[in-house]
């Protein structure tokens, strides 16, 4: 764990977890210069993995408690899910992208989600989808920059296998 | 792609040991919480809840240790409740490794605590635990404290609506009438709360037969919590999931890895 931008910039792999509201998470990331670190790592082809709100902040903006700007690595938006029951909480299956590295060998597994907001689409990278009221992005793999809306670290053996898949790319 | 109904095991923890009483009065020792968490994880439980029933502050220190050791070894969601009174208590539990924290008495005493916690950590970490029983209140259900012995003077339905507007992310609905009876979940209560709440709803109290689990899903529960039927081996986790799956309900049947 680090809040030192130099350590984060040069690490073999960087995980960006996110807990809490989108705007609070963005403020915390800005305080330690994380947006520039994430952009630099993408340019330098260094692997970064965003998790949950750590995925959402990679998009252009979110409508959680008003519109807030994200880091904007991906140009689409994060919006509240349209579903009768929110948050989307629990184990759900996914529809992995073709040629996915993250989901290699765990295509048919379930993963643990806890969120009310999500991105619907991406113009770049490989998209993996899940369904809760509507179809949304469960993961994006865009060269060195990957992200999951679910929590692999809380998804039992399937989650650990996904983390292993990611760490092989380091 | 369908969200599975979660099966949750609840461990009542006192001074680092698992206990579970019938109607909360006579407690029976049922093991070490970390070992039980690992066992339930290997058997395919979807989520774990620790309810800290320790009376003293020194015993609570033991709870942080138990939570930390569990989170180091079990990679599924862990909710911890019991005695949570402040934002700092939540902070300590999350840092120890809890994913969610449940609040009950302290939120009844001071409802502002709900918004204080959800503004800091998001509502997804906060579970409102409601100990409810049948009573002559507008909804027919009232909130109790002290393990169902004392009326809180609140209607269960209006309390849940109030707490939802303040920022909880999930409802743990404990039936004080059904708890420990193994005679089935309180279907009427689940149905009534489902009508007004759009939050994930965990049914708790009364699980006995496999049919009871299905009945609670039919009534609108998103997750099913049980304790003694699992602790005393009356049902294995996979037996419950197999039954539900065979009856057309979506469950997480476990990793094939």
Whether B238 is covered by a domain: the verdict is yes
The DSSP code sequence of A26-55 is HHHHHHTTHHHHHHHHHHTT--EEEEEHHH
The confidence score (pLDDT) of residue B1 equals 67
The continuous run of DSSP H or E covering A129 comes out as strand A126-132
What pLDDT digit, counting tens, does each position of B72-96 carry?
Answer: 999 999 999 999 999 999 999 999 9
Whether B242 is covered by a domain: the verdict is yes
Domain at A120, CATH number: 3.40.50.880
Q: Find chain A residues with C-beta within 8 A of B94's C-beta.
A: 19
| Euclidean distance between CA atoms B193 and B170, whole angstroms | 12
Out of A19, A154, A157, the one facing B257 most closely (by C-beta) is A157
- DSSP letter assigned to residue B125: G
Domain at B125, CATH number: 3.20.20.70
User: At residue A73, does pLDDT exceed 50?
Assistant: yes
CB contact B95 to A (< 8 Å): no
* ipTM confidence: 0.93
User: At residue B31, does pLDDT exceed 80?
Assistant: no
Q: Is the backbone of residue A68 left (phi > 0), alpha (psi -120 to 50) or beta?
A: beta
Which residues contact residue B17 at a Cβ distance below 8 angstroms, ignoring those fewer than 6 apart?
Answer: B29, B31, B32, B33
Which pair of structure tokens corresponds to residue A113?
């989600």
CA distance B27 to chain A (A): 31
Catalytic residues of A: 52, 151, 153
What pLDDT digit, counting tens, does each position of A122-170 carry?
Answer: 999 999 999 999 999 999 999 999 999 999 999 999 999 999 999 998 8
Whether B209 is covered by a domain: the verdict is yes
CA distance A72 to chain B (A): 22
Whether B255 is covered by a domain: the verdict is no
The confidence score (pLDDT) of residue B154 equals 97
Out of A53, A88, A153, the one facing B75 most closely (by C-beta) is A153
- Please judge whether B257 and A94 are an interchain contact, meaning their C-beta atoms are less than 8 angstroms apart: no
The confidence score (pLDDT) of residue B24 equals 35
User: At residue B5, does pLDDT exceed 50?
Assistant: yes
Out of A89, A90, A158, the one facing B257 most closely (by C-beta) is A158
- In chain A, whose CA is at the least distance from the CA of B74? A156
What whole-number percentage of chain A has pLDDT above 90?
92
- Residues B132-153, mean pLDDT to the nearest whole number: 93
Domain that holds residue B192: 6-246
- Cα three-residue angle A115-B246-B76, rounded to 5 degrees: 35
Please give the residue that has the higher pLDDT: either A146 or B255: A146
CB contact B170 to A (< 8 Å): yes
Q: Mutate which of B2, B3, B41, B72 to test chain A, going by most A C-beta atoms within 10 A?
A: B3
The continuous run of DSSP H or E covering B243 comes out as helix B237-246
CB contact B4 to A (< 8 Å): yes
Q: Find chain B residues with C-beta within 8 A of A110's C-beta.
A: 4, 252, 255
> Beta partners for B225?
B8, B204
Chain position carrying tokens 């969601």? B77
For chain B, the domain total comes to 1
Whether B198 is covered by a domain: the verdict is yes
Q: Residues of A near B (CB-CB distance < 8 A)?
A: 19-21, 53, 84-95, 105-106, 108-110, 112-116, 129-132, 151, 153-161
CA distance A41 to chain B (A): 28
CB contact B87 to A (< 8 Å): no
Catalytic residues of B: 12, 131
Q: Are A60 and A26 in contact (CB under 8 A)?
A: no
A82, with CB counted inside 10 A (0-12, 13-18, 19+), is exposed
Orientation of helix B33-43 relative to helix B57-73, angle to 10°:
30
For chain A, the domain total comes to 1
Whether B1 is covered by a domain: the verdict is no
The confidence score (pLDDT) of residue B20 equals 65
- DSSP letter assigned to residue B42: H
CB contact B252 to A (< 8 Å): yes
What pLDDT digit, counting tens, does each position of A79-100 carry?
Answer: 999 999 999 999 999 999 999 9
**Strands (DSSP E) along chain B, which ranges?**
6-14, 17-22, 26-31, 47-52, 78-81, 100-103, 126-134, 141-145, 150-155, 170-175, 201-204, 223-226
pTM: 0.94
Q: Find chain A residues with C-beta within 8 A of B97's C-beta.
A: none
- Please judge whether A109 and B6 are an interchain contact, meaning their C-beta atoms are less than 8 angstroms apart: no
Out of B99, B124, B252, the one facing A154 most closely (by C-beta) is B99
CB contact B202 to A (< 8 Å): no
Q: Find chain B residues with C-beta within 8 A of A157's C-beta.
A: 75, 255, 257
Whether B254 is covered by a domain: the verdict is no
The confidence score (pLDDT) of residue A113 equals 97
Chain position carrying tokens 């770049």? A124
Domain that holds residue A69: 5-168
- Residues B185-198, mean pLDDT to the nearest whole number: 97
């Amino acid at each position: 764990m680090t809040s030192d931008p130099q350590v984060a910039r040069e690490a073999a792999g960087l995980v960006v977890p996110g807990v809490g509201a989108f705007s609070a998470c963005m403020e915390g990331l800005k305080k330690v210069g994380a947006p520039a670190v994430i952009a630099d790592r993408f340019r330098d082809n260094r692997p970064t993995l965003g998790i949950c709100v750590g995925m959402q902040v990679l998009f252009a903006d979110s409508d959680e408690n008003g519109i807030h700007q994200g880091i904007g690595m991906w140009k689409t938006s994060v919006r509240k899910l349209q579903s009768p029951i929110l948050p989307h909480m629990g184990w759900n299956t996914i529809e992995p992208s073709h040629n996915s590295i993250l989901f290699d060998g765990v295509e048919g597994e379930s993963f643990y989600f806890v969120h009310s907001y999500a991105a619907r689409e991406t113009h770049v990278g490989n998209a993996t989808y899940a369904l809760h009221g509507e179809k949304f992005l469960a993961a994006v793999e865009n060269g060195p920059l990957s992200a999951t809306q679910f929590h692999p670290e809380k998804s039992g053996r399937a989650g650990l296998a996904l983390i292993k898949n990611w760490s092989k790319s380091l | 792609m369908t969200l599975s109904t979660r099966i949750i095991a609840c461990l009542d923890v006192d001074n680092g040991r698992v206990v579970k009483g019938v109607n909360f009065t006579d407690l029976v020792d049922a093991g070490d919480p970390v070992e039980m968490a690992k066992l339930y994880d290997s058997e395919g439980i979807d989520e774990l809840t620790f309810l800290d029933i320790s009376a003293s502050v020194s015993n609570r220190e033991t709870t942080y240790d138990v939570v930390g050791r569990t989170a180091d070894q079990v990679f599924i969601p862990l909710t911890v409740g019991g005695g949570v009174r402040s934002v700092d208590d939540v902070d300590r539990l999350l840092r120890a490794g809890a994913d969610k924290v449940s609040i009950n008495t302290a939120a009844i005493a001071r409802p502002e605590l709900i918004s204080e916690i959800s503004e800091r950590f998001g509502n997804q970490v906060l579970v409102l635990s409601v100990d409810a029983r049948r009573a002559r209140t507008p909804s027919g259900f009232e909130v109790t404290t002290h393990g169902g012995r004392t009326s809180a003077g609140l209607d269960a339905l209006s309390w849940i609506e109030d707490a939802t507007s303040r920022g909880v992310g999930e409802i743990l609905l404990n039936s004080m009438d059904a708890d420990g009876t193994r005679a089935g979940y309180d279907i009427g209560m689940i149905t009534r709360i489902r009508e007004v709440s759009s939050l994930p709803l965990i049914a708790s109290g009364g699980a006995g037969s496999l049919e009871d689990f299905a009945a609670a899903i039919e009534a609108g529960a998103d997750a099913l919590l049980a304790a003694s039927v699992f602790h005393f081996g009356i049902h294995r986790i996979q037996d419950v999931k197999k039954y539900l799956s065979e009856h057309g309900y979506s469950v997480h049947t476990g990793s094939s890895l």
